[in-house]
Structure 1
Amino acid sequence: MALDNVETKSRVEKFEFVMERVYGNYRDVSDPCAWTPPPAPGGHRGRYLWTDAFGVINFLTLYKMHTELKAESGYPERYLTFAERLVDTVHDVLGRTRDGTSRLPGATDSEPLAGGLRIGKVDETGSDGDGQYHHYLTQWMFALNRLSMATGNPIYNRQACLLGKAIHPHFLVGLETDRPRMVWKVAMDLSRPLVSSEGNLDPLDGFVTFSLVQASAKKFGDGEVFREEISNYKKVSERRGGHIPSLDFLDLGMTLVSVQWFYDEDWAVTLASRCCNILKNLFDEEYHLKFGASRLAFREFGACLGIECFRATVGPEGDLYDYFKEMSDAMIEQYNDDGTQTPNELKPITRVMFASALIPGAFQAGFFGPEHIKTVT
């Protein structure tokens, strides 16, 4: 992305604007090390794991973009500090019991993620109550991994390793059988599943995220930390006959984000092609317009994010990409942060995902330099 381009600078400004709607006027902060992210609606004690994972990654995008604009923007390292401060805050809130008095079972001050991380649901119980989501946890692992790649500091990737080791056994069922499966939500203390069903993205997401974190661990001299876990995700996926994309914009988009890391492998190319065909059909049918005022913009922004990651991987040429680019840009341009009828509790997640759709940045493979991930056999 050419930073001397007027359109790009406009997108960076929009990006910063919506990020400040979530995290306050951080550009006015004189000492980033003393910054504490303000509590946001829709999260318990102001924190929601998915939203803040995107927040961390977005700060890393801003760091690299302002590094390239250094003559204009002064001190880009402040964005790394904001990302680190957000990580610390999430660990201190969602890594603790809801009353904040103790770490989650299994965690300690030296290993704060050994008990996992809560979702951050406002309600403690009920069908939409708090617990731990596999997909949110792997998204947080990805954010920690990207922070290590941006800073060169292995501590965050090691935290991702610790988190992965802690949560993995609790989401897998029947590994000793020929039909292993997963559950997508477990209790806050990891003691039991809260659902019996399997998340559509979880096996693929686990395989890709754990592979990415392991590749970085090897780079940092920590060895092959997830061989067994990656093998388990493969077993679940094989039992399912591979990943089957849904008709959900967010599911399709995050699938494209995942497969970009393996685009030199046949299975990833095939899966990306399936996702693109489904997306084209949905766009042709104007599927996203059928929900009217009940549209969830953040799910559409997930599709936009995936499209841009896909474009960056395979190149921007071709009629299909031009079509997707037109649809993605239209979705982004339709969004009005002040005028959109978004419920207050969904504004933070919508805003951080809007920013990521505008500039995928740190979500894209190779954003912090070449990375080589090999499938574990």
Structure 2
Amino acid sequence: MSMDLTHPLGGSEGNLDPMTGLVIYRILQQTCGDPRVLQDEISDYQRVVDQKWKGYTSSDTLNLGQALWAAHWYSDQDAWSKGLADAALRGMRVVFHETHYLDVPVAQRLAFREFSTCLGIGVYPTPDLEPVSAQIIADWKKAGRIPVPTRNAGLECLEPIDLVMFAAASCPGAFKRGYLS
């Protein structure tokens, strides 16, 4: 969306946009304390999510992390959320355990996308994937990209998003359900 929220900037819907929208609207509604606030919008999103979540699949590290983050908010309450979490975890296991994604040199990877995976794992702890998160951070530290970039030649334009996502991956609790309670 534009900064003033008057028009969309993107021409298409992202794979997780309905799920993320539903989660954000529900969080806003709960924060407000009035169940009538945003109820129509939540109902609209819920109809889309009910149709879309069952077909979710991805092999993209950013997408998988975002899916797990979105799902963790209601995975103990809603079938769509638990199903999305299960699909994201399956996808992560394929990417990291079966295809050995982390064997690819960091020069062919994008840090901010992988830090999304770390954030997802951080808010939805899964013992077999926690070493993946540690390995991602270790790889990017060794590459000199975090915590203070020392070797970023040619990738300076990604530095801000890399560092923001590294911060989120390093302190995932700030993005976790119940953190402010």
Q: TM-score, normalised by structure 1?
A: 0.42
Identify the residue that residue 307 of structure 1 maps to in structure 2.
121
Identify the residue that residue 353 of structure 1 maps to in structure 2.
165
Rounded Cα–Cα distance in structure 2 between residues aligned with 1:274 and 1:340: 34
Alignment of 1:169-184 (within 5 A): none
Identify the residue that residue 293 of structure 1 maps to in structure 2.
107
- 8 Å CA contact 1:307–1:324 kept in 2: the answer is yes
Deviation string, structure 1 residues 48-74 (Cα, Å, up to 9, x no partner): x9xxxxxxxxxxxxxxxxxxxxxxxxx
Task: Give aligned-pair identity as a percent.
Answer: 34
Deviation string, structure 1 residues 16-35 (Cα, Å, up to 9, x no partner): xxxxxxxxxxxxxxxxxxxx
Gap runs ≥5 in structure 1? 1-48, 50-93, 96-114, 117-166, 171-185, 188-193, 312-320, 370-377
Residue type at the aligned position of 1:343: L
Rounded Cα–Cα distance in structure 2 between residues aligned with 1:342 and 1:245: 32
Are 1:327 and 2:132 an aligned pair?
yes
Asked which structure has the greater CA Rg, the reply is 1
- 8 Å CA contact 2:122–2:173 kept in 1: the answer is no
Q: Aligned-residue CA RMSD in angstroms?
A: 2.3
Deviation string, structure 1 residues 245-287 (Cα, Å, up to 9, x no partner): 3111111101111111102133322221111111011112122
Compute the displacement of 1:325 (Å).
1.1
Gap runs ≥5 in structure 2? none
- 8 Å CA contact 2:106–2:139 kept in 1: the answer is no
Identify the residue that residue 80 of structure 2 maps to in structure 1.
267
Relative to total residues, which structure has the larger helix share, 1 or 2? Answer: 2
Q: Give the length in aligned residue pairs.
A: 172
Rounded Cα–Cα distance in structure 2 between residues aligned with 1:231 and 1:251: 24
Residue type at the aligned position of 1:299: R
Alignment of 1:1-377 (within 5 A): 95=3, 115-116=4-5, 186-187=8-9, 195=11, 197-218=12-33, 224-240=36-52, 242=54, 244-265=56-77, 266-284=79-97, 285-290=99-104, 292-311=106-125, 321-335=126-140, 336-337=144-145, 338-340=150-152, 343-369=155-181
- 8 Å CA contact 1:288–1:295 kept in 2: the answer is no
Rounded Cα–Cα distance in structure 2 between residues aligned with 1:203 and 1:339: 37
- 8 Å CA contact 1:301–1:353 kept in 2: the answer is yes
Q: TM-score, normalised by structure 2?
A: 0.84
Taking a change above 3 Å as real, the CA distance of residues 263 and 359 of structure 1, as seen in their structure-2 partners, is: same
Rounded Cα–Cα distance in structure 2 between residues aligned with 1:296 and 1:329: 16
Rounded Cα–Cα distance in structure 1 between residues aligned with 2:106 and 2:152: 12
Residue type at the aligned position of 1:247: S
